[in-house]
Amino acid sequence: MKRLGLVLAFAIGSLLPSMPLRAADAPAAPLPPPTVEQRLADIEAYFNNTARATDGHAVSKIPGGGPGHSAWMMTSAALVLFMTLPGLALFYGGLVRRKNVLSILAQCLGLAAVVTILWWLCGYSLTYARGNGFIGGFIGDLRFSFLQHVGNEPNGDYAQWVPHSLFAIYQLMFAIITPALTVGAIAERMKFKAIMLFSVLWMFVVYFPVAHMIWGAGGWMNGLANPAAGIKAIDFAGGLVVHMTSGWSALALCLVVGKRHGHGKEPMPPHSMVFCMAGTGMLWAGWYGFNAGSAVAADGVAVNAFVTTTLSAAAGCFSWSAIEYLRRGKPSVLGFCSGAVAGLATITPASGFVTASSAVVIGLAAGAATYFACNNLKSWFRYDDSLDTFGVHAVGGTLGTILTGVYARAAVNANLAAGPIADYVGRTLWLEQLKAAAVVIVWSVLATAGIAWLVALSAKGLRVAKDDETVGLDLTEHGEEGYIVE
């Protein structure tokens, strides 16, 4: 943890000299008061989630964010945090052995704290600020570091009626959950300090650049908003940015770290399916903020995402458990939970772009594909993806990204008809999605392997000693026990 503190301190120190020190710009000429027509047009713009009629022409009588849109986005931000704390913590915590449950909770809480500091420091800026020249397609500049210039006025690049500061905090919640998903693959064996240091470096090398390329203004793969994008891909809520980066990185990391001692030789069942089920319910509820909130408005696109999220989750839950019943004669609670999460992960990139019927198809495919990955693929190749992060999130996210290109329709989301992506929708968009998926896979896997090598040198190894693993990470890494029975 000392090294982690030094990394953060160095980053803050290196950024401080870069803060702009310039004389105040000459004040702009004051705008006139709005006409009655402009005031009415602003009200219409609020309800239709479009730009104000007064922008640049008059002083709006509806300054800052709109109350309804802002209320929905604050709720959505809380829901997405709820997915990690306590949703993912309980979901993963229930799946590990009882001697390691607190280690999962500590990792989720630790990442929430560290990623938040990084986001304030420069992470938000690197992700969502416009970059400079060629490099701007891959990473943003530092204009928003320390959340400077991020206030109550909306940032027109991303929202018309949501305060810039609220948008930044909403997107923070995505940044928190992404590395937390990754730790599921190396649960029960990796050092806490190694996880924290790895995650800090991974955010800079993988998450911030990929999120900027897909979602950032001027991003190299932002097909919705960048006419000059090299790959014109779409990702409504994080199939590429969240599930594919975390899932494919998880596979690389679990291969580098190695298997748990006794893996394949002794049973390692979940210690509490009750926790797992409770966590699944929290994830499902929180996912409405994740997907519907990604409309960044309380509008029809958000409603569509809400509907498709529900249908895909249910279809994935049904599909996985049905296959399990046909093959084994019994549907398990773990199967229901895994199928629901798979349906949620797979619909994520498509949720604001596809119809209800397409969502059912995507959910059914998600349950089947992830069942195969978690039960057959893992058995064939014998890798130890402890909590099936790769099997659910990488496979589901990749499948969802490609199917988004197949099923996305401009009738669902008018932005598909108005932007640079218009000529691809319903035709060759799936090819753009495939290209983006390939870039994210290669980037995530190679970067993860390199970061893991560096962290292993710095932390004197990635995993705990064999005896510590046998005792359990709760006691050896945190000095506590999850359960004390008198």
Query: In the prediction, which pLDDT does 5 show?
Result: 54
Query: In the prediction, which pLDDT does 378 show?
Result: 94
Query: In the prediction, which pLDDT does 23 show?
Result: 40
Closest CA to 66 of 148, 144, 166: 166
The type of residue at 481 is E
Query: In the prediction, which pLDDT does 151 show?
Result: 95
Query: In the prediction, which pLDDT does 4 show?
Result: 54
Lowest average pLDDT, out of 157-171, 185-199, 413-427, goes to 413-427
Query: In the prediction, which pLDDT does 60 show?
Result: 85
Q: How many CB atoms lie within 10 A of CB 15?
A: 15
Residue 473, pLDDT > 80, answer yes
> Which residues, 6 or more positions from 259, have their beta carbon under 8 angstroms from its beta carbon?
383, 384
Which residue segments constitute the domains of the chain, with CATH numbers given?
68-478 (1.10.3430.10)
- Residue position matching structure tokens 């909403």: 170
Over the stretch 2-52, which tens digit does the pLDDT of each residue have?
Answer: 555 555 554 445 444 444 444 444 566 788 988 988 888 888 888 888 888
The answer to whether 89 and 81 have CB atoms below 8 angstroms apart is: no
Arithmetic mean of pLDDT, 252-270: 95
b/e map 367-388, b = 16+ CB within 10 Å? bbbbbebbbebbeeeebbbbbb
Arithmetic mean of pLDDT, 428-436: 97
Arithmetic mean of pLDDT, 126-136: 93
Arithmetic mean of pLDDT, 96-118: 98
Query: In the prediction, which pLDDT does 229 show?
Result: 94
Q: How many CB atoms lie within 10 A of CB 184?
A: 26
Residue 64, pLDDT > 90, answer no
Confidence of residue 54 (pLDDT cuts 50, 70, 90): confident
Lowest average pLDDT, out of 54-63, 102-111, 347-356, goes to 54-63
Q: Give this prediction's pTM.
A: 0.93
b/e map 66-104, b = 16+ CB within 10 Å? beebbebbbebbebbbbbbbbbbbbbbbbbbbbbbbbbb
Closest CA to 42 of 27, 59, 30, 17: 59
Query: In the prediction, which pLDDT does 363 show?
Result: 98
Query: In the prediction, which pLDDT does 419 show?
Result: 74
Query: In the prediction, which pLDDT does 123 show?
Result: 98
Query: In the prediction, which pLDDT does 49 show?
Result: 86
The answer to whether 276 and 95 have CB atoms below 8 angstroms apart is: yes
- Give helix 429-458 / helix 208-215 axis angle, nearest 10°: 160
Over the stretch 349-401, which tens digit does the pLDDT of each residue have?
Answer: 999 999 999 999 999 999 999 999 999 999 999 999 999 999 999 999 999 99
Averaged pLDDT of the chain: 93
> Which residues, 6 or more positions from 141, have their beta carbon under 8 angstroms from its beta carbon?
125, 129, 130, 131, 132
**DSSP-based three-state secondary structure for 388:** coil
Arithmetic mean of pLDDT, 242-262: 97
Lowest average pLDDT, out of 47-51, 70-74, 240-244, 325-329, goes to 47-51
- Between CA 55 and CA 46 the distance in angstroms is 13
Arithmetic mean of pLDDT, 262-266: 92
Query: In the prediction, which pLDDT does 1 show?
Result: 55
Closest CA to 391 of 369, 359, 420: 369
- Between CA 301 and CA 290 the distance in angstroms is 13
Residue 27's Cβ-count burial label (10 Å; 0-12, 13-18, 19+) is: exposed
Residue 149, pLDDT > 60, answer yes
Q: What percent of the chain has pLDDT over 70?
A: 94
Confidence of residue 215 (pLDDT cuts 50, 70, 90): very high
Arithmetic mean of pLDDT, 406-422: 92
DSSP string, 114-175: HHHHHIIIIIHHHHHS---GGGGGT---STTGGGTT-SSS--TTT-SSS-HHHHHHHHHHHH
Q: What percent of the chain has pLDDT over 90?
A: 84
